[in-house]
Amino acid sequence: MKVIDLTHPLSDALPVYFPWHPKTELTKTANYQEHRCEVTRLSVGTHTGTHIDAPSHVFKGAPRIDQYNPNLWVKNALVLDFTPREPRKEITRVELEAKLKQKGFGVVIKTGWDVHFGKEDYYKTYPPLSTEGAEFLVEMEVPLLAADTPYTLEVHYICLKKGIPLVTNINNSSQLQEGMIKLIAAPLLIKDGDGAPARVLAVLE
């Protein structure tokens, strides 16, 4: 068994892209010398770094991150490889149709864009899943969607309306090959959370 970590580390350096997303701060509140132990306060937005969106992120009254059955966070998922990918080039429905033939599996979209994480380009010129592509994934009854990019607001609305949580900004996608993996995408169990930072792992047989 091989495990690949698909998570960007939580650190002070974690970028945020919109003014309403809080900065990540790690502050030591105890140290070995004075307290004989180390403790850190972590302040992080629910949509920073590698994280999962719940439907309540964009729909009032919709399910929150703590309301999902934990079975959802461990899923057989198909890695769909779209590398090499030009900036801004949408992933189309036709491209997805060519790769995804069976209903009911999780999907991991690999574009290779995670290497730009932390740079200004990351949010500005990423190759997004198209709205028609998202509609196709809904038709294919995808229970859980992951990508090494952000998602457009339209894709948020399409997927979250159907209750499909969005695993956002995964890392190390170059280590994934097209095909089936076991995806573990475990959001922090935040009470009434609209999303949560997550540890995301790929388990290969």
List of residues contacting Zn ion (CB under 5 A): 47, 53, 168, 195
For residue 3, give the 3-state DSSP assignment.
strand
Nearest distance from C-beta of residue 195 to Zn ion, angstroms? 5
Residue nearest to Zn ion (CB): 47
Helices (H), 43-152: 93-99, 121-124, 131-139
Nearest distance from C-beta of residue 28 to Zn ion, angstroms? 28
Nearest distance from C-beta of residue 105 to Zn ion, angstroms? 22
Nearest distance from C-beta of residue 205 to Zn ion, angstroms? 30
Nearest distance from C-beta of residue 48 to Zn ion, angstroms? 8
Helices (H), the chain: 32-35, 93-99, 121-124, 131-139, 153-161
Radius of gyration of the chain (CA): 17
When the beta carbons of 8 and 47 are compared against Zn ion, the nearer one is 47
User: Apex CA 202: angle with CA 26 and CA 103, to 5°?
Assistant: 125
Torsion of CA 53, 43, 126, 160, to 10 degrees: 10
When the beta carbons of 37 and 153 are compared against Zn ion, the nearer one is 153
When the beta carbons of 133 and 165 are compared against Zn ion, the nearer one is 165
When the beta carbons of 24 and 168 are compared against Zn ion, the nearer one is 168
Pull the structure tokens for residue 143.
């229970």
Residue type, 196: A
When the beta carbons of 47 and 116 are compared against Zn ion, the nearer one is 47
For 177, which DSSP code? -
